[in-house]
A and B are shown apart, each in its own frame.
Chain A
């Protein structure tokens, strides 16, 4: 009688023990699969929400009046546009998005408006990231809500600012802030209007130094940049940076805490059930030893059963986990779920490899105990 056949018959005989063990593996795999599958949507969603919070790092000209900058968000100083390229190519400087801006408060058609020129966003080489700010084509403009409303402007109209004609590409929705009195155009157009060729007011960035093991990540950034851009200073919008860091950390924590906990609890669960199984089968083990079955075959019976539990549990757990993610994911991650949540077949392969190993490791100690049972003792028991 083959070991596999013995395992199969024992599983049929002690269905309850098998089903409980299967449930443990299924739970672990299903949670892992659903977390991972839905987690992709969570990451995308988090990224989108983070983008909407805006840039958190401002690199401004050295002589900026900080009092004025903090009050208005503007600086009347400028620095060379070439700083953007210099910064982007600086070794050791990590960033996600860089944006060069030139802005000035100007009087236009009886209103105090802010003219903002935006250069196309720069991302690290090789990384495709959605832009945080929609690129504006040269010769066009986005007009803030109040300006459009008061002046009766609409998309397609042409406006003229200090002799430069710009076609309105978009009239923005009401935002309840300074953007409502802003005219945005391409950086080159703004430089021409303001007669500040190759000059910018600011470089905005999403930094990547939120998780360095120091209380003052900006100090590191300042040190990194000081040598490259001696005429610039760095100013961090700390609440935004912290919120971004905390949100990312929170998502990581959920994975870092819950998954090991699930693995440990399910592992212990399988181990206890395997131990109960070994105790139930003491006399069976004894008789098999008496009939000449060696330690290897007895171990194979228990670990083989664990491997079968792992394989079946992985398959069912994958199906359940994927179904959970597909069913409930879209309710949680309303924006990205439809495109991101889908069955992850590579995870099935991983589950089929790791779940049997996990079940076998959990059953290892009981299997070793089974091997060390003294048949002379177990066969004596009535």
Chain B
């Protein structure tokens, strides 16, 4: 279970403070598919990064399971993230000098054992990328890049997948494929938190949260 209590995130700049998250209280159950919906600048990405333990809130508490995320050391938080959270981004963020299999295996950490490699191969095959194992990101289509990114996110069998506008750069067919994979992960018991400014994921959602100016519009 993911719990956010009175979470505030303020970005400080010379031109003044910007409140990206304003007193967020949210509870996401294990195995839920939650869509966070809102226009650009509403705080969706900041919310995901805060849940991921990558952006310390200015105030408030984030708990995943029994772990008070920001009470952990940064090393422990990194370990927790590697073991429990998978990421999918709009811009894919694949490493340009690694081939598909290496990009996927990267999630296994610096010391990848044989079983992780086998798992990476399995995922690549499962996502229809088998013939592209040794291709590098610049040689892939947008859809293939995103499928690689999802495979990387799922390698460590995370409990939660955080997806930040993962279909934003894809055509409708590829967007449907990506949503299908995330839905499959959800059906196997995983938690998906999907940030978007569109409506494409609503049909898969257990719950839709509207975010506006850093505040939840419709807490349910």
- On A, residues with C-beta under 8 Å from B are 1-3, 6, 9-10, 12-14, 283-284, 286-295, 297, 374-376, 379-380, 382
Contact = CB atoms under 8 A, between A and B. Distances in A.
A305 to B, nearest CB: 13
Given A13-B97, A284-B95, A290 B87 contact: yes
A284 B102 CA distance: 14
Most chain B C-beta atoms within 10 Å of own C-beta, residue among A1, A14, A295, A376? A1
Interface in B101-126: 102, 105-112
A283 B55 CA distance: 16
A380 B78 contact: no
Given A1-B105, A1-B110, A3-B110, A291 B87 contact: yes
B98 interface: yes
Contacts of B91: 283, 379, 382
Nearest to B76: A294
B83 A292 contact: yes
A287 B95 contact: yes
Nearest to B153: A291
B111 A2 contact: yes
Nearest to A382: B91
Interface residues of B, number: 33
B55 A374 contact: yes
3 closest Cβ contacts across the A-B interface?
A: A292-B82, A13-B97, A376-B49
Contacts, number: 78
B108 A290 contact: no
B52 interface: yes
A283 B152 CA distance: 16
Contacts of B87: 287, 290-291
A291 B87 CA distance: 8
Contacts of A379: 49, 89, 91, 93, 164
A291 B106 contact: yes
Contact of A380 (B45, B106, B109, B152): B45
B13 to A, nearest CB: 12
A290 B110 contact: no
Contacts of B75: 294-295
Interface string B151-191: 01000000000001000000000000000000000000000
A279 to B, nearest CB: 15
Contacts of A2: 110-111
A5 to B, nearest CB: 8
B89 A292 contact: no
B93 A293 contact: no
Contacts of B108: 1
A286 B45 CA distance: 14
A48 B186 CA distance: 86
B74 interface: yes
A6 B103 CA distance: 11
19 contacts: A1-B112, A6-B98, A10-B97, A283-B91, A283-B93, A284-B95, A288-B106, A289-B54, A290-B93, A291-B81, A291-B87, A291-B152, A292-B79, A293-B110, A374-B55, A376-B54, A379-B89, A379-B91, A379-B164
